[in-house]
Structure 1
Amino acid sequence: MIESLQARAIHLLWRLLSHCRLKTTWSLAGAASRVLYAVSRRERHVTRRNLEVAYPGDSSEQRRERVRESLRHSAATMLELGFAWIAKPARVEASVVEVHGRELLDNARADNRGVIVLAPHFGNWEVLNFWLSSHFPFTAMYEPPKIAELDAVIRHGRERMGAELVPTNPRGVAALLKALKRAEAVGILPDQEPDWGSGEFADFFGRPAYTATLLPKLVARTQARVVTGVARRLPDGRGFAIHFLAADDRVYDTDEVTSAAGVNACVESAIALDPAQYQWEYKRWKKTEQEQQKVPGYREQRLYSKR
């Protein structure tokens, strides 16, 4: 009963926000982020710890400002879900006012190769999904939400422009392979920690991060090209700029550790477009090599432990 009420309330909020101008949503994100900064110790703490790793040379004031900016962009992404999933397609399409690097996808398809789009949690990845599925045959993995009654809403929002969503299991991987062999585009998330046994440790901003190794498996079997794709939020709610960036050459290496290092370098290149737009609230360095190796007597303080 409670879950059903939550689903209805969230869906109603998305529908209301779908009518807002992006400038209004950005203003609301500013207010929401101030509340989040004040009351959510977890989000503030994790963001700060991640930024300490990524930008160790920052002063305390610089880091505090980065935390505030990151929380505002993360709030904006959540508030823009209604726009990306429910607003009229013409409005969403019109919000994409710049596209950079499209030739990377066009050239790959002209060579009859599939394209793997690495889509990190940067800017508004739902707008990126909308644009990709509007312009290319596009397949992406999908994991149902914790609130089951929102599944239909989210699926409709992501599939409405033609995207095919496949499960995050071997059947889904098989579907990605088939799409790539048809010279289509597929999207994978390069910056979420996989389950043990599905990744390798590779440096991310100089610290080992457990990184998924699905990419080299897909490349080896399909000879697909790899690009990084993001939808960067433009200032003051002016819309979005889509960026496609050439991948680090290491992503094509058959050695999974080397490929994982290339994947993380791709994510770093995307973040460099505007570091505040990356989702620093995620515990990217939660798993450790010592934990994996079950080092006897391992007592190193975890990165996210409260000081």
Structure 2
Amino acid sequence: MPRSEPSFSSLQARAIILMWRILAGRSMATLWRMARLGGPLVHRFSRREREVTDINLAQVHPHHSRAKRRHLARQSLTHSTATMLELGFAWMADLDRVHAAILEVHGRELLDEARADGRGVIVLAPHFGNWELLNIWLTGHFPMTVMYEPPKLVELDPVIQYGRERTGASLVPTNPRGVAALLKALRQREVVGILPDQEPSWGSGVFAPFFGRPAYTGTLLPKLVARTQARVVTGVARRLPGRGFAIHFLAADERVYASDEATSATGVNACVEAAIALDPTQYQWEYKRYRKVIQEQEGHPQHRSFRLY
């Protein structure tokens, strides 16, 4: 039988993997220079990222001038571009080089104290800086379980899985089986990672304030805490532009331990806010944190979406 031609998605995946391999060999300084060139182009030509970022910053900083918000948006999209360029480095570069790029670790004692308490530990990791580098540092020191949703381009899945598992992370699916695996890991006094700032589907969250505005917030972390009495620590990898990264661990807002899910979710959002305060330009403002508020106000939460959002 004649060999079939590769599909467009297959060719696209091959091109991305080749790009990652090339970028894996580049220095932090080179990747940052590329991000500084690419970030303004993303801001100018990527309408979706620009508009979502602008909407979020208008919600979070209503008293800032438009010029100040526009400047912050450009900086944020430059850092987001850097994160994308750094994926090949995080997943494919020699691990000695990757570990050498982690130049500072702050607040390690908070993580050690939480683990010494004899319970599992949840690392609450917002989309800030480069969370892939945070994962590499954590899995190099502790047994680590994280949820994983395969990419739309299925050909990328083996590469991403290898990149995230090569230092020992255990990836579990984003479904009830994955939740069961997180519960088991916490009961075995291990560490799990939770990305807390993606808007969940209806029925999987509650409205809680985020920078003073209601945002639909996932309740997975509150449920895990309630069932395992796990300790919570916020963790991020802050980019040191052109040089490497600084790992930061921050004490969790005490409200994350509340039995009421809305109160606990408020604590989760406060943890995210504290991480963003390290450098607001390094947060990924492209996530639609306030979308469901508008959907609810329009009266058809399951079917409406933002006009621009």
**Equivalent of 2:260 in 238, 255, 258:** 255
* AA in 2 matched with 1:305: R
Structure 2 distance, partners of 1:305, 1:14, is 34
Unaligned 5+ segments in structure 2 are 1-6
Once the two structures are superposed, the pairs formed by residues 35-184 of structure 1 within 5 Å of their partners are: 35-184=41-190
Which residue of structure 2 lines up, in the alignment, with residue 305 of structure 1?
307
1:201/1:289 contact within 8 Å kept = no
2:13/2:155 contact within 8 Å kept = yes
Unaligned 5+ segments in structure 1 are none
Q: Is the partner of 1:122 in helix, strand or coil?
A: coil
2:123/2:194 contact within 8 Å kept = yes
Which residue of structure 1 lines up, in the alignment, with residue 273 of structure 2?
268
User: After alignment, is 74-83 or 177-186 more displaced?
Assistant: 177-186
2:145/2:193 contact within 8 Å kept = yes
Q: Is the partner of 1:233 in helix, strand or coil?
A: strand
**Equivalent of 1:203 in 185, 206, 209:** 209
Q: Is the partner of 1:209 in helix, strand or coil?
A: strand
* AA in 1 matched with 2:292: K
* AA in 2 matched with 1:269: A
Deviation at 1:290, TM superposition (A): 6.1
Structure 1 distance, partners of 2:13, 2:307, is 33
2:114/2:232 contact within 8 Å kept = no
1:70/1:276 contact within 8 Å kept = yes
2:52/2:308 contact within 8 Å kept = no
Which residue of structure 2 lines up, in the alignment, with residue 278 of structure 1?
283
Structure 1 distance, partners of 2:114, 2:279, is 27
Deviation at 1:305, TM superposition (A): 3.1
String of CA shifts for 1:219-241, please: whole Å, max 9, x gaps: 12211100111000013x11100
Q: Is the partner of 2:146 in helix, strand or coil?
A: strand
Q: Does 1:244 find its partner at 2:262?
A: no
Which residue of structure 1 lines up, in the alignment, with residue 4 of structure 2?
none
String of CA shifts for 1:103-157, please: whole Å, max 9, x gaps: 1121122221111011110000000111111111000000000000000000000
* AA in 1 matched with 2:62: P
User: After alignment, is 168-177 or 38-47 more displaced?
Assistant: 38-47
Q: Is the partner of 1:135 in helix, strand or coil?
A: coil
Q: 1:109 to 1:35 in 2, by over 3 A?
A: same
Which residue of structure 2 lines up, in the alignment, with residue 233 of structure 1?
239
Deviation at 1:295, TM superposition (A): 3.9
Deviation at 1:35, TM superposition (A): 1.4
Deviation at 1:60, TM superposition (A): 2.0
Normalised to the residue count of structure 2, the TM-score between the two structures is 0.94
Structure 1 distance, partners of 2:164, 2:109, is 24
Q: Provide the aligned length of Structure 1 versus Structure 2.
A: 301
RMSD value, Cα:
1.7
Q: 1:41 to 1:219 in 2, by over 3 A?
A: same
Deviation at 1:58, TM superposition (A): 1.3
Q: Is the partner of 1:195 in helix, strand or coil?
A: coil
Q: Does 1:34 find its partner at 2:36?
A: no
Q: Does 1:10 find its partner at 2:13?
A: no
Q: Is the partner of 2:9 in helix, strand or coil?
A: helix
String of CA shifts for 1:207-229, please: whole Å, max 9, x gaps: 11110111121112211100111
* AA in 1 matched with 2:255: R
Q: 1:290 to 1:45 in 2, by over 3 A?
A: closer
Structure 1 distance, partners of 2:80, 2:257, is 31
* AA in 1 matched with 2:235: G
Structure 1 distance, partners of 2:115, 2:66, is 47
Structure 2 distance, partners of 1:82, 1:181, is 34
Identity level (%): 68
Structure 2 distance, partners of 1:137, 1:216, is 21
Structure 1 distance, partners of 2:264, 2:66, is 35
String of CA shifts for 1:272-292, please: whole Å, max 9, x gaps: 000000001111111127628
Structure 2 distance, partners of 1:41, 1:156, is 32
